[in-house]
Every structure is written in structure tokens, then in C-alpha cells.
Amino acid sequence: QLVESGGGTVKAGNSLTLSCAAYGRSLSRVAVGWFRQVDGRSRESVGAINWSGGGTTVADSVKGRFTISKDNARKTVHLQLNNLMPDDTAVYYCAAKQVYDDYYIPVQTYEYDYWGQGTQVTVSS
């Protein structure tokens, strides 16, 4: 089970840290991705991490503002959102997928098998 937390309402320019906690499963050989979705639009990738290898990737649209990290002890993946803009307003989801090496980092929604319930991020101007 994946549980997101940390969403909220902030003004533009501020920061938030989203967390994705994994319950009841190991994250060994797992990739965890972050996605976001606005009503009426398709879900888009924000970034992802290969848990075992530690490699990360973020979408070009958020590069330089968003970063992904992990907390091994808490089995949690964090998405740090800095310098937020109104266009970042969306429901943010984390998802997990079994991978077979320490390097592969999937970024497409169809590649992921397990999804959290989402957390709302609202950025006001």
C-alpha cells in the first residue's frame, strides 16, 4: 500500500514536501514514480526513483525546482517542490513498479502497477 502525504495550499514561490510511504512491501528492486493530474487532463510524470540504485529523474517541466529523494529507514520517497507556481496545482500521486535492475527508472503511467490515493497541491498567485 502506498500513502501520500504533505499536500496543501501555498502561495506561489513557496515550497512543499510530499511523501510517499510504502506499507506492507519491500522496496528492493522497485521504482517509485511521482505523477500529477489536473481535472480533465491526462496524468503526467513528475519524476521517479529506482529505490535500489538510487538514481532519479525529473520531468523537464519541473527540473531545477522539484527533486526526489528517499528515506531508507522509513521506506518513504519524498518529492520536494520548490518555487511553486500556480500551474503546479494538481493532485499528486505516487506509484510503484517492480524492476529488474538497479538502473531502470520508468516514467510512463502505464508502466506502474500500484498507486496511492493522491494528495492535493494548490498554489495560489
Instruction: With CA atoms as reference, report the closest residue to 32 among 99, 92, 100, 120.
Output: 99
Tens-place pLDDT, residues 28-55: 889 999 999 999 999 999 999 999 999 9
In this structure, what DSSP letter does residue 72 have?
T
Which band of pLDDT confidence, cut at 50, 70 and 90, is reported for residue 14? Answer: very high
For cell 529507514, what's the residue?
73
- Please indicate whether residue 26 or residue 91 has the higher confidence score (pLDDT): 91
59-71 tens-digit pLDDT: 999 999 999 999 9
Looking at residue 26, its pLDDT comes to 74
pLDDT in tens, 52-105: 999 999 999 999 999 999 998 889 999 999 999 999 999 999 999 999 999 999
Look at residue 25 and tell me whether its pLDDT is greater than 80. Answer: no
Longest dimension (CA), the chain: 43
DSSP string of 37-62?
Answer: E-TTS--EEEEEEETTT--EEE-TTT
